Amino acid sequence: MCGRFAVTLPNDAMAQLFQAAPANNLPEVPNFNVCPTTGVHVVYSDTEMRRLGAMRWGFLPHWYKAPNDGPLLINARAETIADKPAFRAACRTRRCLIPTDGFYEWSKDVEGDRLPWWITRRDGAPLVMAGVWQDWQGPEDADPLRTCAIVTTAASADIAEVHHRMPVILGPDQWAKWLGEEGHGAATLMQAAPEETLQLHRVSRAVNSNRASGPELIEPFED
């Protein structure tokens, strides 16, 4: 799964990287502790071009009457995404990219305490996660709320000892297919990143708090 991540790439550089038109409401960067239900950077395609916009991290199915009307859907399992009522339409027609520097995952020590890890690409490139998105219309809201979830799959050998799930990570040569710009075949991308794509190190337990912030959250740490 993926429950926290970090983004430090400036918005204009992000727009250039994806050749996407940026919106005016992009989240502030850097953010070393991006949490569920907050706004995140998302790249998606419409009939005209790629766009870089802000979406609520926490997918809201159309039948929710309020954002807290059901489970918080921050992740969508690749193995079942095409069949789940919440995600199946989005999986076909509303796929997106969620750019990050890396993400956090937690293991447990012998006493059951949660130990945080910082996970990035070995090559230092942005870590781009596959996502799906949905516009949700609240009963009293004039404008729809655009929401998203991260697609996850079984973990690669690089990080399997820490956690058994991971985001689907896409390279630049896969972005267009996932966004639907190259026709069909996106389902073939929903698998773990090749071995030796990722690296990880322990970080401070400070990140266990969703109020923590600052670059020290991703620095190596030893108990």
Domain boundaries, the chain: 4-207
Residue among 2, 91, 96, 148 flagged as catalytic: 2
Spot the catalytic one: 91, 96, 105, 148.
105
Residue 105 known to be catalytic: yes
Residue type for position 24: N
Dump pLDDT digits (tens) for 99-132: 999 999 999 888 888 999 999 999 999 999 999 9
- Cα 220 from Cα 22, distance rounded (Å): 33
Closest to 18 in 3D by CA, of 133, 139, 179, 159: 179
Residue 111 pLDDT: 82
- Please give the CATH superfamily to which domain 4-207 belongs: SOS response associated peptidase-like (3.90.1680.10)
**Which pLDDT score, from 0 to 100, does residue 11 have?**
97
Mean pLDDT of the chain: 95
User: How much of the chain exceeds pLDDT 70, in percent?
Assistant: 99
Active site residue 2: yes
Residue-wise pLDDT tens digits, 18-64: 999 999 999 999 999 999 999 999 999 998 899 999 999 999 999 99
